[in-house]
Copies of this chain bind each other. A is one copy, B any other.
Amino acid sequence: MTTTIRLQREAFDVAAEVAALTRGRTDIGAVVTFTGICRADEDGAPIAALTLEHYPRMAEAEIARHIEEARARWPLLGMTVVHRYGRLVPGEPIVLVVTASSHRQAAFTAAEFLMDFLKTRAPFWKQVETFAGTSWVEAKAADDVAADRWSAPPRREVR
């Protein structure tokens, strides 16, 4: 299985990441991508930018552990996670998850799983820059709820 984890300041190219995962293969029937983008508002208030701080070696290790867990849980053929850090303005992409499988359900489920864990367990912190100053984004209870659903045995058997 092809897996890629990259933390970087630079923007990423979704098409290039998908091509790297699927090139020359004819066993992949489903590719899901998730791109997280910096919005111009946070909790309803306009923002000028987000600055992402991270814990470098731990972030890579934590993402690798979750990729390993996804691989053990679902029949996947490839996974890519790219997460940016540094200052990002509205409209810029923040995070990319790509999953590939022979069937769609594993690809969808693993992408949601990886995103829920990036939101709650990967050591990244967002600082919001508004026109009035800076503040740290607070963790959302809804993200913990979303992550908690993966503690139960896999819920959906359909593929």
Contact = CB atoms under 8 A, between A and B. Distances in A.
Contacts of A64: none
Interface residues on A, range: 35 or more
B105 A108 contact: no
Q: Interface majority SS on A: helix, strand, loop or mixed?
A: mixed
A156 to B, nearest CB: 8
B32 A36 contact: no
A18 interface: yes
B31 A32 contact: no
Given A37-B28, A142-B159, A18 B22 contact: no
A154 to B, nearest CB: 14
Contact of A32 (B22, B26, B33, B146): B33
A-B CB proximity, top 7 nearest: A26-B40, A26-B90, A15-B15, A146-B158, A29-B39, A31-B35, A33-B33
7 contacts: A15-B15, A26-B39, A26-B40, A29-B36, A31-B37, A34-B104, A104-B115
